[in-house]
């Protein structure tokens, strides 16, 4: 059984004080702690403070992005060792907003993913098709291209650490989530792709999150799908109450399916 993993992507939101307050509220809301891995990805400015607030909890800290070089003349960038120093254990790479708003290419995502692994961080690799690509029946071709570009050079032994987030671009921040069937179909494809390239054992160990307008009302049904191992949550992760409801849904959905 893969332990479900629910990650909060706060994007360009929350001051340090707001971030720390969220942690206090979440600690209260998730007591007793469910059998779910939880990761918070605050903005860079709040990482160190959130790391302190998380001490003594099982909640993991992640970053929303990173640069592939460890140090040097790269104004404005943050490196893997800096994230580790701030207390991060994971990092989102290739989020669709990085790809579309900031022009990140498949090659850049690949370099970030390898750098994350090199520095001991768990990459949360985001992939997903646009609406136009879905309507043109290109979904699996896009997913295969993004996986192949990002994971070149990533060995089977790295796989247990890897998390893949299937995030259809048309579902992110739109209030229009993929149906559970659409999500399961895409996740199944991703796992089969991983099985062919990295072997069944590695593919079965990789957790595949769904992301795109997940909330307390739709999380349970999405998370009941066999290959949906968690969620990457944007908008609904900004309030502790809404986010903890999703975490509890994940625990309940996966408990039902335990042997």
Note the residues at the interface with ligand PEP (CB under 6 A). 9, 167, 172-173, 211-214, 232-236
- CA–CA distance, 170 with 187 (Å, rounded to integer): 16
Provide the minimum distance between the beta carbon of 72 and ligand PEP in the complex, in angstroms, as a whole number: 29
Smaller CB separation from ligand PEP, 164 or 214: 214
Provide the minimum distance between the beta carbon of 98 and ligand PEP in the complex, in angstroms, as a whole number: 10
Smaller CB separation from ligand PEP, 146 or 213: 213
- CA–CA distance, 25 with 28 (Å, rounded to integer): 5
Distances (CA, A) of 213 to 178, 194, 217, 231, 233: 8, 25, 10, 10, 7
Provide the minimum distance between the beta carbon of 62 and ligand PEP in the complex, in angstroms, as a whole number: 12
Active-site hit among 97, 104, 129, 167: 167
Q: Report which residue's Cβ sits closest to ligand PEP.
A: 234
For residue 6, what are the β-bridge partners?
38, 231
Active site residue 95: yes
Residues 6 or more apart whose Cβ sits within 8 Å of residue 191? 203, 204, 206, 208, 227
Active-site hit among 18, 95, 129, 135: 95
Residues 6 or more apart whose Cβ sits within 8 Å of residue 238? 10, 13, 14, 22
For residue 7, what are the β-bridge partners?
39, 232
3-state secondary structure of 185: helix
Q: Which residue has the tokens 């199944």?
A: 188
Provide the minimum distance between the beta carbon of 183 and ligand PEP in the complex, in angstroms, as a whole number: 12
Per residue, the 3-state secondary structure of 12-71, as one string, reads: CCCCHHHHHHHHHHHHHHCCCCCCCEEEEECCHHHHHHHHHHHCCCCCEEEECCCECCCC
Active site residue 257: no
3-state secondary structure of 86: helix
Smaller CB separation from ligand PEP, 166 or 202: 166
Provide the minimum distance between the beta carbon of 112 and ligand PEP in the complex, in angstroms, as a whole number: 16
Smaller CB separation from ligand PEP, 126 or 202: 126
Could you list the active site residues? 95, 167
């Amino acid at each position: 059984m893969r332990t479900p993993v629910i990650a909060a992507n706060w994007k360009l939101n929350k001051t340090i004080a707001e971030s720390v307050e969220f942690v206090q509220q979440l600690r209260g809301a998730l007591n007793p702690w469910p059998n779910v891995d939880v990761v918070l990805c605050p903005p860079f400015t709040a990482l160190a403070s959130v790391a302190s607030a998380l001490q003594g909890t099982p909640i993991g800290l992640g970053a929303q992005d990173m640069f592939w070089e460890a140090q040097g003349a790269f104004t404005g960038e943050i490196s893997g060792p800096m994230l580790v120093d701030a207390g991060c254990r994971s990092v989102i790479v290739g989020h669709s907003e990085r790809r579309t708003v900031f022009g990140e290419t498949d090659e850049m995502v690949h370099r970030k993913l390898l750098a994350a692994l090199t520095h001991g961080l768990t990459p949360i690799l985001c992939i997903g098709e646009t609406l136009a690509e879905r309507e043109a029946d290109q979904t699996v071709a896009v997913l295969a291209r993004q996986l192949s570009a990002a994971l070149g050079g990533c060995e089977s032994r790295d796989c247990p650490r890897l998390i893949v987030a299937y995030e259809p671009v048309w579902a992110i921040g739109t209030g229009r989530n993929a149906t559970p069937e659409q999500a399961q179909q895409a996740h199944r494809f991703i796992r089969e792709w991983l099985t062919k390239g990295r072997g069944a054992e590695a593919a079965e160990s990789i957790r595949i999150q769904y992301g795109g307008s997940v909330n307390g009302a739709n999380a349970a049904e999405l998370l009941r799908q066999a290959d949906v191992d968690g969620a990457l949550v944007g908008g609904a992760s900004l309030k502790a109450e809404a986010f903890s409801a999703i975490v509890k849904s994940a625990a309940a959905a996966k408990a039902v399916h335990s042997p």
